[in-house]
Structure 1
Amino acid sequence: MANQFEVPANLGGPVQMGGKLFGRKCSFRVLDNNGAGLDLSQFRVTFKVHQLDHETPNTMVVTIYNLSDDTMNRIGGEFTNVLLQAGYEGASYGQIFTGNIKWIERGKEKNTDKYLRIWAADGDQAYNFTTCNHALAAGSTAKDVMDYLTGQFAQNGVGKSADFDHFVGTIPPVALSRGKVLMGMARTHMAEWSTKNGFRWSTQHGNLTLVPVTGYRPGEAVVLSSTTGLIGTPRADQGGVSVRCLLNPNIVIGGLIQVAHDDINTLTTNQTGLKFKDVQISAATTWQGLYRVLVAEHEGDTRGRPWYTDIIALAVDQTAPDQMKSVSATGFGLHL
């Protein structure tokens, strides 16, 4: 039976744990611009997906073995997009990556197995080619700026995440005293808007996504323990709290995970000189065990051993009166 932990209502619900993960499941498809394509799931597929809380497009390198020459010739020409879903039968299964094909490599391994290797990026076309040429009138608000920018990205096939408008709505409707000209690359204005209003922006699964610099996205926390897929011992270092678990598509950038405090190795100094005494040199941890996902890397092999998700996360202060200000912007601070 699943166990539940009480968490603040603004986390989106109870944190769930429990259940056993058996039977890997993977679907890999190459698609045309209309969403039609080929399902290559019956072949051996290996993949590495890199997702992070940054505007630079997420990437995937995927290798498919022993395709026919005709199929390989169609990929990159007729089919220019990819969709990867992975996880476990009857448990955590869902979308890992969607994006545009950037490069293709054809070759052989051991002179017996042919392979096709694809490099793909999430929202890459929109990131590189969405432009602005617009003047906003005096009296416009931050929402008006963002409405125009998202409209421009939509023309290149990138939508908005389910919680995007929620975060935009948290910005006070302060009117511009003068008009504002939006000219040039849309990504430049997205970065300017996000920095000014305390967010980081990125593209996740083909959708524009906002994450508060000192907050997190709403939704359930994914509990990671020895019974729910945690692998090895998490470690807090200068980059954040590093965690490895069995591949889990429910782990999303800006979302929450929960790891027991006693499961994490931490590092502090104990030098007796005038400097560095009791200086914290690892990222903050929290007794409540809640962390915001900063980086997620998914690795899998449908005919081999790898089937992991590697995470770097920052501690969330569950007791903070304003959960939009519950995460250290640097990851450092007192152990909560």
Structure 2
Amino acid sequence: MAEQWLRQFKLTIQLQKGAPEALDLSQFKIYFRIGQATRDTPQAAEIYIYNLSDDTMNKLAGNDSENKDTIITLEFGYKGSPLETIFKGQVFQFRRGRDNPTDKWLCVLAQAGEHLKNYGVINQSIPAGTTIDDAGKVLNKEMEKYDVVTGEVPQLSDQQYPRGRVFFGSLYNHMEQFYTENDIVFDISDGMFTANTIFGHLDKAEIIINRDTGMVGMPQLTTEGLEVTCLLNPKLKRGVRINVDMKNMQTESYDIAYEQQEKDQVFKNPNKATNTDGIFIIQSVEMVGDTRGTECYSNLVCTALNATVPKSGVSIKAVD
């Protein structure tokens, strides 16, 4: 993405659950914040749409903001490049308010995989002799019934179960248990399920992050990983490798509180928490944008390839 200028947005919201009609709201002022708190939580979005008429608000949210589970899609791109989906999920709440006497807004709170996480159920059994990889495929096939498609997933073991196994109850809970058993972390964002090994990465091209490709400020090494801010780029997703310009990396001070010395120093030591090539794996992505303002950023938390990684923090299991 050589020329990151003349931003383009497209926001559509389904009018009723299961209905084909959707409203295109791309011409309004929109402010959004999209992110994921941990590896284990689906992508969530908070989107503000400004100065809609009361009729339009009621059409989207219902007279008493009772509409739920409708599909919302936000796409983004720059002039000369195609629009790419940066969020697709289900609405779970509408809020109404205003910033001042003249500017009112409709806030949409949505989550990717909402139907899967809250309503997904499974009632399947697999016979003895089924491989672990085939068991994963059974779960993934059930998942696709809830508006989540399967993306890149690693090949699992061909070891066979000596006895049959029953999947019954919450589909999401069974997925968490199954993939944890096999040292796999998964991600649900943009309406897509992807997975990779705990210290692995997606099989996608490495993305260079420097001042010529949109880096904003300087990379900051923290206990949780390397924090990097750049111009919003839809290709920056969890599990993707990036090559960061480390010339101006900022290191963090060690904790000088009583009895805290040396407890977190290894994760702030640039010789152990980074590598000479500056290659990192994205663990957390937050996207912030304003269609009529200056904000349009991707905020990343990354861990270095083949380096010491934090045992807690947003890149592992949310904040302590």
TM-score between both structures, scaled by the size of structure 2: 0.86
**Number of aligned positions between the proteins:** 300
CA shift for structure 1 position 328? 4.4
CA shift for structure 1 position 193? 1.6
* Residue in structure 1 matched with residue 293 of structure 2 by the alignment: 304
Q: Deviations over 1:37-73 (max 9, x none)?
A: 1111111010000136623221101011111222111
Out of 263, 279, 284, the residue aligned to residue 290 of structure 1 is 279
Out of 181, 187, 196, the residue aligned to residue 202 of structure 1 is 187
Given that 2:9 and 2:76 are in contact with CA atoms closer than 8 Å, whether structure 1 keeps it comes out as yes
Segment drifting more, 90-99 vs 67-76: 90-99
CA distance in structure 1 between the partners assigned to 2:223 and 2:81 by the alignment:
33
Q: Deviations over 1:87-136 (max 9, x none)?
A: 32124852110111111111223111221111010011111111122221
Distance change >3 Å, CA 220–CA 194, structure 1 → 2: same
Q: Deviations over 1:129-150 (max 9, x none)?
A: 1112222111111122212211
* Residue in structure 2 matched with residue 316 of structure 1 by the alignment: 305
Given that 1:28 and 1:84 are in contact with CA atoms closer than 8 Å, whether structure 2 keeps it comes out as yes
CA distance in structure 1 between the partners assigned to 2:26 and 2:308 by the alignment:
39
CA distance in structure 1 between the partners assigned to 2:293 and 2:179 by the alignment:
41
Gaps of 5+ in 1: 1-17, 318-325
Gaps of 5+ in 2: 314-320
Q: Is residue 107 of structure 1 aligned with residue 93 of structure 2? A: no
Given that 1:261 and 1:285 are in contact with CA atoms closer than 8 Å, whether structure 2 keeps it comes out as no
* Aligned sequence identity (%): 28
Out of 106, 119, 137, the residue aligned to residue 116 of structure 1 is 106
* Residue in structure 2 matched with residue 250 of structure 1 by the alignment: 235
Q: Deviations over 1:266-318 (max 9, x none)?
A: 246599xxx7499424271111111111110000111112111100011013x
* Residue in structure 1 matched with residue 126 of structure 2 by the alignment: 136
Distance change >3 Å, CA 92–CA 330, structure 1 → 2: farther
CA shift for structure 1 position 174? 0.7
What secondary structure, in the 3-state scheme, does the structure 2 residue paired with 1:220 have? coil
Given that 2:225 and 2:309 are in contact with CA atoms closer than 8 Å, whether structure 1 keeps it comes out as no
Given that 1:292 and 1:314 are in contact with CA atoms closer than 8 Å, whether structure 2 keeps it comes out as yes
Distance change >3 Å, CA 98–CA 70, structure 1 → 2: same
Distance change >3 Å, CA 279–CA 307, structure 1 → 2: closer
* Residue in structure 2 matched with residue 219 of structure 1 by the alignment: 204
Q: Which amino acid aligns with 2:177?
A: E
Distance change >3 Å, CA 199–CA 299, structure 1 → 2: same
Q: Is residue 19 of structure 1 aligned with residue 2 of structure 2? A: yes
Q: How does 1:128-207 map to 2 (within 5 A)?
A: 128-161=118-151, 163-164=152-153, 167=154, 169=155, 171-207=156-192
CA distance in structure 1 between the partners assigned to 2:285 and 2:308 by the alignment:
18
CA distance in structure 1 between the partners assigned to 2:37 and 2:282 by the alignment:
9
CA distance in structure 2 between the partners assigned to 1:141 and 1:277 by the alignment:
42
Q: Cα RMSD (Å) of the superposition?
A: 2.6
